[in-house]
Structure 1
Amino acid sequence: MYKEQTAPNGTEGFYRLTFYDISKSGYKWVGEWVDKSESVVFPTWKINCTRNEK
């Protein structure tokens, strides 16, 4: 998922959410800023989600 967002230094780019390692036991996702060519990537956070069975 992408949303247009300018970096603090004025560079045009996107804020990107990427979901990965998706399985029945959970998934991971990362939020990161990327430039328009996606050659510069600046991760801001990572989240690991684990399913709890009750």
Structure 2
Amino acid sequence: KVVQIWFHLYSFNFSQMKINFMVGQKLNRMSPLQDFYAMKFLNDTELFWLIYVWRNSFKS
């Protein structure tokens, strides 16, 4: 079950990275500050999903 969850999380993060890359290409390079905020956003969503999945794994 845990392995399944981690695989799910990994594939989600991978698709997020692909989306971010495509958006970055469209904007044709963001400023370093925007890059920083994009990374921060990614880290925050990752944290949110970790907590969400972690809490739900105890319920089932």
TM-score interval, smaller chain: under 0.3
Whichever structure has more strand as a proportion of its residues is: 1
TM-score, structure 2 normalization: 0.23
Determine which structure has greater relative contact order: mean sequence separation of CA pairs < 8 Å that are 6+ residues apart, divided by chain length: 2
Higher helix share: 2
Q: TM-score, normalised by structure 1?
A: 0.24
